[in-house]
Structure 1
Amino acid sequence: MQVTSVEAFRVELPLVHEFETSSHRKSSIEHILVRIADADGVVGWGEIASPSDPFYSSETVDTCWLILRRHLAPALLVHTWEEPGDASRAWARIRGHNFAKAGVDMACWDLATRASGVSLASALDGERTSAVAGVSLGIEPTVDDLLTEVSKYVDEGYRRVKLKIAPAWDEEPSRAVRAAFPDLMLQVDANGAYRYDDADHLRSLLALDAYGLLLVEQPFAPGALAAHARLQARLQTPVCLDESIDDLDQLDSAIELGAGKILNIKTSRMGGLTVARRAHDAATAAGWQVWSGGMHEFGIGRAANVALASLPGFSLPGDLSGSDKYYARDIVDPPIRAHDGEVPVPYDRPGLGHEVDEEFVRSLASETFVLTAN
């Protein structure tokens, strides 16, 4: 297969509710959408779901735009491949920049599966007909505000809630939500805000064992695998790694060290569907549980995450809520929706299973570029 054109769009959508983590608060999301086409006019779409600021990772929308235009798109245009998993060989020499790579890899999978008339989930060897959806809730001004948000999504049928935590915002919200919803699947995510050598931080993390959590996600900095291993040895609640694992070598090290028991597999963080599927296989073979995380994706990236979550090892609810939780209007049709806490996997439609509203995307784009094969 040969890609003959690569087009990119910088698109920003307002959030229906502001979202705060341990590092910052945001009211809108800007992502890069990637449109590729082959000589027959078949089109595939991908989404570069990097943050705008370098708080979650060193990548930003600006760095991804540069890497896509200067390196990834030109490399793809001169590369031929048979299977979508082989497309990534085009950028094998480029180190890092996983968010940028993920959008291109996703577009290649969408293009290939549309050309062959099969669903993305089928091509990935998915089995599940639906993915159990959870919601991720940010830090709120008060505990009462948080309880209002939790109640809203529980009433909508969501079975799992993830709370963002930070030092001094951890035990109290966990205790309050558990008391109000004793049977709710509940987990917390620190985004690396704690330090093992801080006695108060460690005490707060160990105290979380009291609240029956599914997991404690990424308590320490990404590179602190040894610290995660020491915490896991003392914590009954499973430690889940997110930012710490963006390639298979890091996953191998984490497994060897016992740095956790659960892996949050984000297509964007791992560099695309190709690597994310391999991470699923490696983690489950080692006895780790896995689930599908998210980066506030628009419909393109969200559809890819749903397809990935159809793989058999995804036994825990993912951050796969309907797009209406975040955006009043999404960029795909049909929109992605959760029903009774589950998002259906569209095996009956080719590719991502959702059509991109291209006119809407073009109207929103603040910047675009097109590169074509010579």
Structure 2
Amino acid sequence: MKINKLTLHVISMPLKKPFVTHLQTVEKREAIIVEVQDTDGLTGLGEAVAFSTPWYTEETVKTCYHMIKDVLFPLVEKAPFSHPKEIGQRFKQVRGNPMAKASLEMALWDLYARQHNKPLWTILNGTRNKILAGAVVGAPSLNEMVMQASDLVDEGYERIKVKISPGADIELLKVIRSEFPHLSLLADANSAYTLEDTKHLNELDEFQLEMIEQPLGVKDLVEHSILQKEMKTPICLDESIVTPEDMKSAIYLNSCGVVNIKLGRVGGYTNALEIYRLCQENLKKVWCGGMIEFGVSRAHNLALASLEGFSIPGDISSSSKYWDEDIIDTPIVVNHGYVDRLEGPGIGVELNKKRMIEVTEFKEVIEI
């Protein structure tokens, strides 16, 4: 693979509705769209999904921009390579910064698939014709949360994730479970609890949740292991799993029953596929998480979630859930809880150039 151009677009777009967690309320979303071009003029697309401030992880849009331009892309340039997984290995000499790494690696995987004129899901050995889709509910009040859940059910979603925190959990889940007794429901705590809340968390078992996601510390594996022994509801790890080594430790400690795999959080496909393999071999369920992302990352999520082991609906909602108009030429659409896999080369979508001009705050082209 011979790369001769890197283009970085810093984009910004308001959400249709604020996205609320106990950590942050997101009203406007920034991201970096990454384009890599080869010597034949083919282009691969990636997306840096860090937020503007470090509330989810330490990375931000600004730190990602620096890392992509000044540290990671020079590693791509420095020596020939034939497959993007070689770049995933090359990036291991740089500590941390998984979202920056993922954005560039995603673009290279997309380009590699386009060079072979194949959908990326075939390169990944995906098998699912239809991708299981779910959506996230996050709003300032109980009534708004219930209304969001109701709207999503009406749209055909069969799995809904609800953001919870102390004082905003039991009553909320009770109302939603009463309204939708057969809905696949899970709760995402974003590390809002401690082991001192074990008795309280045990009360969630009555709501027959598919799982509770990341109830304890963002880097913790040990206390999650202790909590899992006390709860019937499976624990799903998110922020705690960044590397395959984290996954090995979680398996050894039995810290969870489920893992949310996000390409951005784990540093791209190289790590994601290794974490997926470990989960398959050790009977841990997996699903594909979302980051309130734009269409490029959403299309990559579809490719990853086409793998057979992704048996739980992921955070793969329609483009219209967050955006009046997405940045891709073919919006992602959920129909009765599923999204059709994308059949075009690579991730199967192109940038909507008109929309990109409207939402781009800064653009830089780096030619080799």
TM-score tier, shorter chain, comes to over 0.9
Alpha-carbon offset, residue 277 of structure 1? 1.5
Deviations 1:303-362 (A, max 9, x none): 00011000011010100011110111001121111111101111x310001111134324
| Structure 1 letter corresponding to 2:69 | R
Instruction: Give the match for residue 140 of structure 1.
Output: 140
Instruction: Give the match for residue 237 of structure 1.
Output: 233
Instruction: Give the match for residue 64 of structure 1.
Output: 64
Could you list the structure 1 runs, at least 4 aligned residues long, displaced by more than 4 angstroms after superposition.
none
Alpha-carbon offset, residue 139 of structure 1? 3.6
Instruction: Give the match for residue 42 of structure 2.
Output: 42
| Structure 2 letter corresponding to 1:365 | T
| Structure 1 letter corresponding to 2:144 | D
- 2:291 matched to 1:279? no
Instruction: Give the match for residue 95 of structure 2.
Output: 95
| Structure 2 letter corresponding to 1:205 | L
C-alpha distance in 1, partners of 2:213/2:174? 17
C-alpha distance in 1, partners of 2:355/2:149? 32
Alpha-carbon offset, residue 234 of structure 1? 0.5
Are 2:89 and 2:270, in contact at CA under 8 Å, matched by a contact in 1?
no
| Structure 2 letter corresponding to 1:277 | L
- 2:161 matched to 1:162? yes
| Structure 1 letter corresponding to 2:288 | S
Are 1:171 and 1:204, in contact at CA under 8 Å, matched by a contact in 2?
no
Normalised to the residue count of structure 2, the TM-score between the two structures is 0.98
| Higher alpha-carbon deviation: 14-23 or 352-361 | 352-361
Are 2:198 and 2:230, in contact at CA under 8 Å, matched by a contact in 1?
no
Instruction: Give the match for residue 206 of structure 1.
Output: 202
What is the SS of the residue equivalent to 1:337? Answer: coil
What is the SS of the residue equivalent to 1:269? Answer: helix
What is the SS of the residue equivalent to 1:333? Answer: coil
* Aligned with 1:216 (options 205, 212, 217): 212
Alpha-carbon offset, residue 92 of structure 1? 2.6
C-alpha distance in 1, partners of 2:13/2:76? 28
Alpha-carbon offset, residue 213 of structure 1? 0.2
> Alpha carbon RMSD of aligned pairs, Å?
1.1
Identity %: 37
1:326-345 alignment runs, 5 A limit:
326-345=322-341
1:260-339 alignment runs, 5 A limit:
260-339=256-335
Give the number of equivalent residue pairs.
368
| Higher alpha-carbon deviation: 256-265 or 52-61 | 52-61
What is the SS of the residue equivalent to 2:223? Answer: helix
C-alpha distance in 1, partners of 2:16/2:50? 19
C-alpha distance in 1, partners of 2:360/2:90? 27
Normalised to the residue count of structure 1, the TM-score between the two structures is 0.96
| Structure 2 letter corresponding to 1:104 | L
Are 1:53 and 1:60, in contact at CA under 8 Å, matched by a contact in 2?
yes
Provide structure 2 residue ranges, at least 5 long, that are not aligned to the other structure: none
- 2:188 matched to 1:189? yes
Alpha-carbon offset, residue 77 of structure 1? 2.2
What is the SS of the residue equivalent to 1:95? Answer: coil
| Higher alpha-carbon deviation: 130-139 or 296-305 | 130-139
| Structure 1 letter corresponding to 2:88 | S
